[in-house]
Each structure stands twice: as C-alpha cells, then as structure tokens.
Amino acid sequence: MGIFDFLSGEFIDVIHWTDDTRDTMVWRFEREGHEIKYGAKLTVREGQAAVFVHEGQLADVFTPGLYMLETNNMPILTTLNHWDHGFKSPFKSEVYYVNTTRFNDLKWGTKNPIMLRDPEFGPTRIRAFGTYSVKVSDPAVFMREIVGTDGEFTMDEISFQIRNIIVQEFSRVIASCGIPVLDMAANTADLGKLVATTISATIAQYGLMIPELYIENISLPEAVEAALDKRTSMGIAGDLGKFTQYSTAEAMTAAASNPSGGDGMGAGLGMGMGMAMANQMQTGPWGPMPTPPTAPPVEHVWHIAVDGAVTGPFSKASMGRMVTDGTLSRESQVWTQGQDGWMRADAVMELAQLFTVMPPPPPGA
C-alpha cells in the first residue's frame, strides 16, 4: 500500500453493512478503537437504520441514504463532542446498524390450555398456535430498551419474550370475546388482528411492532373433541331420544359383528335390542316407523359320545326321540358349540327337560 493510500485511509472512512443472515436485528460496525473520522461516509441501505452512540449517549439516528459525517448534518453529535473547526481529528463513537425489515414466520403457541366459559359448552379449555411477524419501528427505543451494548443482536434473543406477550394477550382476548368455540375458526382473522392491536402498546415500549399475527389452529381437549365427533357423526344435535336410538343401533352393530357361543346370548341380545329400538321408533317424535327384520333364533345341534366314537350332530327334536327309544340316557355324554367340554345329558339345561316330560295316562286307564 502506497503513501497516498495510507493517507486516504486516515482521512476517508466508509461505514456500511450488508446482511446475509435471516435473524440479525442489530450489528455494530467494528472499528479499531471505535474511532470514526470526521468526514466519513455513512451508507444506510433500504431496510436499515444507523444509530450513533457517542460516549455512552445516543447521538443520532440515520435513515436510508448516504451521509457525510460533518458538523452541519450532525448537530446533536456536534453539541456532545464540541468539534473544533481546525484540525479534523477522529472521534470515538459507535455505529449500530438496525435491521428494519420484517422478520416473518415466527412461531407462537400456548404451552398450557386456556380456561374459558363457552356459551354452548360451558367451562372448557382450548389450545392455540400460529405465526407472526415483527419489525423494529423505533431504532432508538429498541437500542435503549433491548439491545444495549450487544454487538450482534438476533431475533432469538427477543422472540421468547414476544411469544409470552402474545399468549398473555391472546388468553385475555379469547376469554372475554364471547365467541363460541365452534365459531372461532370462522373468526381467526379478526381475532388475530384484535390480538395484534392489543399488544401494540406493550410491544411499542420495546421499539417494535407486529404487522401481522395469524391464528392457525384452535383446538379442544381430546375428550371434548371425541364427544363432539360422536355428536357430529350421528348427524343430530341436542335430541336425547335420537341419541338413544343412535346408541342402540351402534350396540346392535357391535353385537352382530361379535357372534357369541352356544348359549345364544349374543343372538338374543341382538334381538332384544332390535325390539327395544323398534318400540322407541314407534313411540318417538317422528311417528310409526317400519319394524326392522329380525333374525331367526339359533337352534343348537348336539354330538353324542358312544364307546369312544362321536355321532351327530342331532337336533333337539332328534334328541327327544332318542330319549323315547332309549338310545339317549341321562348318563350319555353330549357336546355342542360353545360348551366347555363334554357333559352329562341331564346336566345340560336344554336337554334335562327331555327326561322329565312323561306322557299322560292312556285313555280309559
């Protein structure tokens, strides 16, 4: 470097900042000894602001443009520093660049459910989450209240505090707005604007503003959602009679899909429910309804063990004839589907009566 370049470097200073990150809000221009030369050129690009801090005091804020740091355009700094008009010596100050663009797609959400009194459901709890954007509206206030002397301040350092403010105001707004939970999805845009407006005063104390706030989802507890889904799936709201009919039909479907064993309990239960539902429909608010078809009763068939061999199956009527002709006795071992092992014939309730039915005396006896 030649002597001319050295002298130019001593008397000409260029101050500028280009940001290639997505989260830097404030960046301090680094200069050895923090010496800024008189007559230095300050470049402030669109989406930026430059804050001058001199000896711990905020001296000036520059908006986008090209500035020559001289007495005529730095009256505040001139008063603080008492420039002489002879030798133009450097002065020790700090230049902080503030990013004034929007920081988008920032997340917020409720950690714990919010308690509210819903007009339809009564006391209930909800959760919510969404996104928001933030930007610096007053660089001087932002520097004084938040940044201080931090040489590189990022969005992560303030986002947690902003989320807390959003959740607090959202909880207050949602609890006092009186909008039913079922109608909140249709009013998320208005609710978002209302929350953004209510937190403006608090955020302004930090030198910030929230241009946009979006509510992406408002959800109920799982138990409430399950009850709501069941109420929606039957397609009828608020009628106990209809709900009973719906529940009976559901129980019949479950019983039909799970046939039981030999005692016919499942089939009998299904027929009983069908008759109950038919009676409810006939006496319900819609007048007589057609009776649904009922399934025929299930008849058991039996197997008989004789000398180590199995014969059958035999119907109950066949078993009665076998008792009459002596082929089937009380001690005979019998089995039917659903029965737990072989049993004596007289130990089975359906067959025991075959041995107790005696014919009446013959005529003229």
- Are 42 and 128 in a shared domain? no
> Is residue 320 very low, low, confident or very high in pLDDT (cuts 50, 70, 90)?
confident
- What residues form DSSP beta bridges with 129? 109, 217
> Is residue 240 very low, low, confident or very high in pLDDT (cuts 50, 70, 90)?
low
Residue 362 lies in a domain: no
pLDDT tens-digit readout, 137-155: 999 999 999 998 888 999 9
Q: What's the CATH number where 138 sits?
A: 3.30.479.30
Residue at which a domain ends, from 296, 315, 346 = 296
Domain count, the chain: 4
pLDDT at 298 over 80: no
> Is residue 292 very low, low, confident or very high in pLDDT (cuts 50, 70, 90)?
low
Residue 261 lies in a domain: yes
Residue 10 lies in a domain: yes
> Is residue 3 very low, low, confident or very high in pLDDT (cuts 50, 70, 90)?
very low
> Is residue 272 very low, low, confident or very high in pLDDT (cuts 50, 70, 90)?
low
For the ranges 135-139, 163-167, 238-242, 320-324, which has the lowest average pLDDT?
A: 238-242
Residue 360 lies in a domain: no
- Are 259 and 322 in a shared domain? no
Residue at which a domain ends, from 82, 99, 116 = 99
Q: Please check whether residue 137 is in contact with residue 211, taking contact to mean a CB–CB distance below 8 angstroms.
A: no
Q: How far apart are CA 327 and CA 354, in angstroms?
A: 13
- Are 204 and 113 in a shared domain? yes
Q: What's the CATH number where 350 sits?
A: 3.30.1490
- Are 193 and 247 in a shared domain? no
- Are 120 and 193 in a shared domain? yes
Q: How far apart are CA 348 and CA 100, in angstroms?
A: 90
For the ranges 28-42, 97-111, 130-144, which has the lowest average pLDDT?
A: 28-42
Residue at which a domain ends, from 68, 99, 130 = 99
Residue 124 lies in a domain: yes
- Are 143 and 192 in a shared domain? yes
pLDDT tens-digit readout, 193-225: 888 888 988 999 999 999 999 999 888 888 777
Express as a percent the part of the chain with pLDDT over 90. Answer: 21
- Are 201 and 120 in a shared domain? yes
Residues 6+ apart with CB under 8 A from 171: 110, 114
Residue 167 lies in a domain: yes
pLDDT at 358 over 90: no
Q: 76 versus 188: which is more confidently predicted? A: 188
Q: Please check whether residue 53 is in contact with residue 93, taking contact to mean a CB–CB distance below 8 angstroms.
A: yes
Residue 77 lies in a domain: yes
Residue 70 lies in a domain: yes
- Are 149 and 194 in a shared domain? yes
Q: Locate 258 and state its tokens.
A: 């799970």
Range of the domain at 75: 3-99
